[in-house]
Amino acid sequence: MEIIVCVKHVPETAEAEVTIDESGKRIKTEDLVYDINEWDDYALEEAVLLKEKHGGSITVITVGTEEADKTLRKCLARGADRAKRLADKAFEESDAFATAKILHKTIQNLPFDLILTGAQAGDDGFAQVGGILAELLGIPHATMIKKIDVTEGSVKVNRELEGGLEQVMEIKLPAVLAIQTGINEPRYVSIMGVRKARQKELKVLNLADIGLKEEEVGESGSWITVEKMFIPPVEKEAEILTGGLDNIATKIVETLRARGLI
């Protein structure tokens, strides 16, 4: 089975103090630690598990600067066979649509049975690249995948729905699947894996290499542009209810009713 995994090198912001830069359109990243996108980490692990079970090879692809090589090397150490980084000044400010076009031009001539992406990216949360990529390639796709079983010429998948429900679908291959967290347990990178990763090829392609025009990528080739980014003000208000239980219960009901919650 030939598998392609699309990954992204993103800043870790969960425990960091985030500030907006002078442009007002992005966060300051100078003091932030970067790593593989959380959802993509699960997608990579799922690809390795499928490779171990069914054979084949894994190609990881990212759109990013030289700094993203760290994530690609990590993927290679975890079991990926090849890595490609798509880098060009023209790619900057690309939205999900422009990013999908960049990936499409790179992937369309590669052999693949399955393309895995993360369900979304931790930095922008668009959750659109996988679906757009599938549409450009003209192949089926599914999102929020929690389980994959490979059958002859297709995959049976479980999708996570609202309210704790799951949906089982059978999808013909080739296909694009957007992986949800929790589908597996990503493995640690071994010392042996790191050594082997140093010997594997990491190919870098630019705008001309993949055959796109400058106006097709970046802000000019995007459908969405960021106008403003801001940190919402912290607003907390606590009201302490006193009195007997009946009095407190009455106040709670009145508050909920006044706010349209019941």
Predicted confidence (pLDDT) at residue 235 exceeds the cutoff of 80: no
Q: Are 62 and 8 in contact (CB under 8 A)?
A: yes
- pLDDT of 167 reads 97
Contact 61, 82 (CB under 8 A): no
| Alpha carbon distance 22, 197 (integer Å) | 38
Quick check: is 182 in a domain? yes
| Cβ atoms 129, 96 nearer than 8 A | yes
Whole domain around residue 82: which residue ranges?
2-216
Give the whole-angstrom CA distance, residue 86 versus residue 147.
Answer: 29
Other C-beta atoms within 10 Å of 84: how many? 23
Higher pLDDT, 173 or 23: 173
Model confidence at 222: pLDDT above 90: yes
pLDDT tens string 153-180: 999 999 999 988 999 999 999 999 999 9
Does residue 248 lie within any of the structural domains? Answer: no
Do the Cβ atoms of 199 and 75 come closer than 8 Å? no
Average pLDDT over residues 217-243: 87
**pLDDT at site 239:** 80
CA 45, 50, 52, 55 dihedral sign is: negative
Q: Nearest to residue 67, comparing CAs of 35, 20, 21? A: 35
Task: Give pLDDT, residue 118.
Answer: 97
Q: Are residues 175 and 150 in contact, defined by beta-carbon separation less than 8 angstroms?
A: no
H helices within 200-244, ranges in order? 207-210
Q: Looking at residues 128-153, what average pLDDT do you find?
A: 97
Three-class DSSP category at 99? helix
- What pTM, to 2 d.p., does this model score? 0.86
Q: What tokens appear for 40 in the block?
A: 């993509």
Overall average pLDDT of the 136-149 stretch = 98
In whole angstroms, give the CA distance from residue 93 to residue 209: 19
Residue 174 forms part of a structural domain: yes
Our count of domains for the chain comes to 1
- Asked, for residue 176, whether it belongs to a domain, the answer is yes
- What mean pLDDT do residues 26-30 have? 86
Sorting pLDDT into bands at 50, 70 and 90, what band is 232? confident
**Cα distances (Å, whole numbers) of residue 226 to 10, 118, 155, 217:** 18, 22, 37, 15
Residue 113 lies in a domain: yes
Q: Is the confidence at residue 258, as pLDDT, over 90? A: no
pLDDT at 30 over 90: no
In a domain, 249, yes or no: no
Q: What is the pLDDT of residues 60-101, one digit of tens each?
A: 999 999 999 999 999 999 999 999 999 999 999 999 999 999
The CATH number given to whatever domain includes residue 27 is 3.40.50.620
Q: What is the mean pLDDT of the chain?
A: 93
Q: What is the CA radius of gyration of the chain?
A: 22
- Residue 232 located in a structural domain: no
- Residue 26 pLDDT: 85
The region of weakest confidence among 1-10, 81-90, 113-122, 188-197 is 188-197
pLDDT at 31 (0 to 100) = 83
Q: Residue 189 domain-assigned?
A: yes
**Could you give the C-alpha distances from 202 to 65, 66, 77, 112, 134, in angstroms and in order?**
13, 11, 12, 18, 25
Task: Give the residue among 86, 65, 62, 96 at the shortest CA–CA distance from 222.
Answer: 96
